[in-house]
Copies of this chain bind each other. A is one copy, B any other.
């Protein structure tokens, strides 16, 4: 649901262009047995449709009847609960809003693990705490099933176009089997290591992104107040050691770049609330592993304050606007 970047189309695909060939998967279309899909929201529905397009029969469910209906109309078989999905499919993908939903869908009274078959491959594409991913993997293992975490980068547009990037954690032997399905929904699939490392990679990227964005906003604001032209300052930074994605690809200052949220009153893009949520995951993870993240932590606090000051639904680059001095100082 949350995404590295749910982005303005023209910058969205930059990741793709830089990707190593080593990461591009070769599809091994062994068999087209049914695939389970749980969580039919804005992201899950187009993802499931892409599996259908690639010839995989889908057994799906969701808490909302309308969502179930929409997918049924596209040819999927709809059942009542995660347990029912587990009874009919031995490869299941989940795409849910947050940790508690994942826990419920896997270990709840009608959860997947109630009826999961031995050897089933479970792929969770939700963005959650890696510790929960590891818990789910242990619970699955007890039932003889295999759990992998595979959070995505890219928003609704990328989901529709099968251009998502998946960061995958789990036992390496099962990676190829996961890749077979994930490449139907995404342009890049990156293997990150043991269970939870997919989440870890996503959390890490988004934390550094948040720091770079606030840092860019502060720097541009300071430079402007010191008399520098914003476009010239961006140019100087981008050819120097201050360069980062937020300065050269997604500049937060209106007028510096086109086709980014700052050029459109911070509409679209990746909402401040979503960034605050991902930073909350980074914060919890860091706290629980006793890792100091002074700037990450302060970035979290800044986006959290912004959420309560009217910036919740603006793109996270609106931090430039938040920090900017707007009044004439009184003395």
Contacts and interface: CB of A to CB of B under 8 A. Distances in A.
A25 interface: no
A242 B282 CA distance: 14
Contacts of A245: 240-244
A317 to B, nearest CB: 11
Task: Choose among A227, A280, A312 the residue with the greatest number of B CB atoms under 10 Å from its CB.
Answer: A227
This chain: copies in complex: 4
Given A212-B212, A290-B276, A298-B297, A219 B247 contact: no
Interface in A188-245: 190, 192-194, 196-197, 200-201, 203-209, 211-212, 214-216, 218-223, 225-229, 232-233, 235-245
A97 B329 CA distance: 15
Contacts of A65: none
Given A204-B219, A205-B236, A292-B218, A4 B327 contact: no
A36 interface: no
Nearest to A283: B287
A266 interface: no
Given A215-B295, A307-B290, A282 B241 contact: no
A91 interface: no
Interface in A257-316: 273, 276-277, 280, 282-302, 304-305, 307-310, 312-313
SS of A interface (majority):
helix
B244 A208 contact: yes
Contact of A325 (B206, B250, B291): B291
Interface of A: 4-5, 15, 18-20, 97, 130, 153, 165, 167, 190, 192-194, 196-197, 200-201, 203-209, 211-212, 214-216, 218-223, 225-229, 232-233, 235-247, 249-250, 273, 276-277, 280, 282-302, 304-305, 307-310, 312-313, 322-327, 329-331
Given A226-B289, A292-B323, 10 more contacts: A18-B239, A208-B247, A212-B244, A221-B292, A222-B289, A284-B287, A295-B299, A297-B297, A305-B323, A308-B327
Instruction: Please provide the 6 A-B residue pairs with the shortest distance between their CB atoms, ordered closest to farther.
Output: A244-B244, A211-B215, A208-B242, A200-B226, A205-B242, A292-B304
